[in-house]
Structure 1
Amino acid sequence: MTDLTTRWLGLELKSPLVLGASPLTDELDTLKACVQAGAGAVVMHSLFEEQLVAEQMAAHRFIDSRINMDAEARSFFPESEIFEMGSGSYLQRLQQLKTELGVPVIASLNGISPGGWTQHAKELEQAGADAIELNLYDLATDAGDTADTLEQRQLAVIRSVVEQVSVPVSVKLSPFYSALPAFVAGVEAAGARGLVLFNRFYQPDIDLEQLALSREVVLSTSAELPLRLHAMARLYNRTGLDMAASGGVHTGDDAAKAILSGATVVQLVSTVLQHGPAAFERLGGELTTRLASIGYQSLQEARGALSLDNVPDAGTWERLNYARLLHGWQSSR
């Protein structure tokens, strides 16, 4: 039997299968079932700084609109505690999960300003988070914003958070960096301990009948995994950061591919939404069986075995293979 215990962000995990950030963290019984089925850790859904700011502003507008309705209006202010004007409910949930689950709980933070990130990161640490996952996504809409401008802004955010907390910080990236290894080197220099590759964006579509934007959640498939494998294989041995694969892991073989490419852990969401907590037990069994059949007795032995430095034909990970791949597809027709 292959030993599935691993060490991620300095945390001891019984399994490399981690529940990624999702709405499932609102369901305590489901989370307990995931842990019972083999989840090594749980990542909470993101705390969005802009959402908190919007809620605070809405509450202030509600109060301000009634200030001068009559001479005694100021005495009729609603009690402030009826409004959720901060991260209080998220922090309470974090404390509850820490008490109930018995596995590391990672808080997820999606912020838009250095000040906001650091303030909320401190609160998450104080509430007991074992680590913090920073969800970076800075969409360029201004022609004056260059790639370097955005990247330097993101690195400044990472540094500001790392300087304010003592728990490990992991950074969740998009796949859209033009020079990913260089940016990852900056992430490591900023003090982060890990990477999550990659973010999946739920982008609006267009409803032609209503001439409006529509939002639909499209779950991942295994077809999305190679993008992650390629990135991790290129980064393995070129960074000291722990890597988590996120997106496209639906089977034990998918998880094995991620480990062989260099992943320390894999994050599961879509397959758990589709099949429930039992997905952890199934994937754990399949992963153990697959690695054992190849001859690996531990994750440490398997990790990075097919990375860019270790794979027999390194060109397969590079653009050289592109023309061959297309030629092979034409030939198969």
Structure 2
Amino acid sequence: MTDLTIQWLGLDLRSPLVVGASPLTDDLDALKACVDAGAGAVVMHSLFEEQLVAEQMAAHHFIDSRINMDAEARSFFPESEVFEMGSGSYLKRLELLQSALDVPVIASLNGTSPGGWTQHARELENAGASAIELNLYDLVTDLSDTAATLEQRQTDVVRSVVEQVTIPVSVKLSPFYSALPAFVAGVEAAGARGLVLFNRFFQPDMNLDELELSREVVLSTNAELPLRLHGVAMLYGRTGLEMAVSGGVHSGDDAAKAILSGATAVQVVSALLAEGPKALARITEEMTRRLSGMGYDSLAEARGVLSMENAPNAQTWERLNYARLLHGWR
């Protein structure tokens, strides 16, 4: 039987399967069931800096609009429970999960400014987060903002957070970097401990009947997994960062592929949203059976066997084979 224990970001995990950032954060019973089913850790849903700023601005606007009603109004200020002026509810939830679950709880931070990132990162550490997952996503709409300035800004953010906390920091990336290995080298130099590949974005669609934009949550399928496998396989052996796959893992074979490509941890979300915690028990059993059947006594033995560095036909990861594949598509 394959030993599933791992070290991720310096944390001892009973399994590489991690509950990824999702609405499950708000369902303690579901998270407990996931842990009972074998989850090695839990990632909370993201704390969005811009959402906090918007809420604070709305609260201040409400207060300011009433200050000039009369002279006495200036002495009025709503009770703190009326307006949450910051990340208090998220921090309370983090503290609750840390006390209720016997696995590491990783906070997720999605920010937009170096100052905001560092402030909230310190709050998360003080609230007991085992680690922080930085969710890097910066949508460029300014024509003068180049790839170089974007990547420099993001590595500066990573460095500023790492310098402010003592807990490990992983970085969740999008797949849209033109030179992913070089950017990852910058993230590593900035002090990160791990990578999560890749983020999934819920891009708006169009409702042609109403002539408006719409946004719906679309669960992943394992058709999205190869993009993650390619990224991990390409980076394995070229970076000292521990890697996790996120997106497209719905079966034990999917998880095994992630490990064989070079991943240390495997995040699961959509399968849990579709099936509930029982999906985690199923994936664990399938993954264990597959890797044991292949003769691996531990995940360390299996990790990276099919990476670009180690695969017997590593050239298959390269673009050259795209032409060969199309030529023989029938």
TM-score, with length taken from structure 1: 0.98
Q: Aligned partners of 1:204 and 1:60: how far apart in 2?
A: 30
Q: Which runs of 5+ in 2 are unaligned?
A: none
CA distance in 2, matches of 1:108, 1:28: 17
Q: 1:77 offset after TM fit, Å?
A: 3.2
Q: Superposition pairs for residues 1-333 of structure 1, below 5 Å?
A: 1-329=1-329, 331=330
What letter is aligned with 1:141?
Answer: T
User: Cα offset for 1:207?
Assistant: 1.1
Measure how far apart 1:44 and its partner are. 0.1
CA distance in 1, matches of 2:317, 2:69: 68
Residue 42 of structure 2 aligns to a residue whose secondary structure is strand
**Deviation digits for residues 174-214 of structure 1, max 9, x if unmatched?**
00000000000000000000000000000111111111111
Residue 167 of structure 2: SS of its match in structure 1?
coil
Equivalent pairs: percent with the same residue?
Answer: 79
- Cα distance in structure 1, aligned partners of 2:48 and 2:215: 18
Give CA deviations for 1:207-261 in whole Å, capped at 9, x if unaligned.
1111111111110000000000001001000000000000000000000000000
In 2, the alpha carbon distance for the partners of 1:328 and 1:261 equals: 25
- How many angstroms apart in 1 are the aligned matches of 2:214 and 2:151? 30
CA distance in structure 1 between the aligned counterparts of 2:107 and 2:328, rounded to whole angstroms: 45
What is the identity, as a one-letter code, of the residue corresponding to 1:162? V
**1:71-121 Cα distance to aligned partner (Å, 9 max, x none):** 322234322431111011101110111100000000000000000000000
- 3-state DSSP of counterpart to 1:72: helix
CA distance, structure 2, for counterparts of residue 198 and residue 95 of structure 1 = 27
**Matched residue type, 1:230:** H
The letter for the 1-side match of 2:202 is Y
The CA distance in 2 between the partners of 1:237 and 1:298, in whole Å, is: 19
Which amino acid is the alignment partner of residue 11 of structure 1?
L
The amino acid that maps onto 1:53 is V
Question: Where does structure 1 differ by over 4 angstroms across 4 or more consecutive aligned residues?
Answer: none
Looking at structure 2, the residues matched to 77 and 233 of structure 1 have their Cα atoms a distance apart, in angstroms, of: 56
Q: CA deviation at 1:309?
A: 1.0
Deviations 1:268-289 (A, max 9, x none): 0000000100111100100000
Secondary structure of the structure 2 residue equivalent to 1:112: coil
SS, match of residue 65 in structure 1? helix
Counterpart amino acid of residue 280 in structure 1: L
Letter in 2 for 1:14: R
Gaps of 5+ in 1: none
User: In the aligned structure 2, how far is the partner of 1:103 from the partner of 1:76?
Assistant: 44
How many residue pairs are counted as aligned between the two chains?
330
Separation (CA, whole Å) in 2 of partners of 1:72 and 1:94: 39
What's the RMSD between the two structures over aligned residues?
Answer: 0.8
Letter in 1 for 2:269: V
1:319 counterpart letter in structure 2? R
Q: For residues 71 and 162 of structure 1, what CA distance do their matches in structure 2 show? A: 47
SS in 1 for 2:81: helix
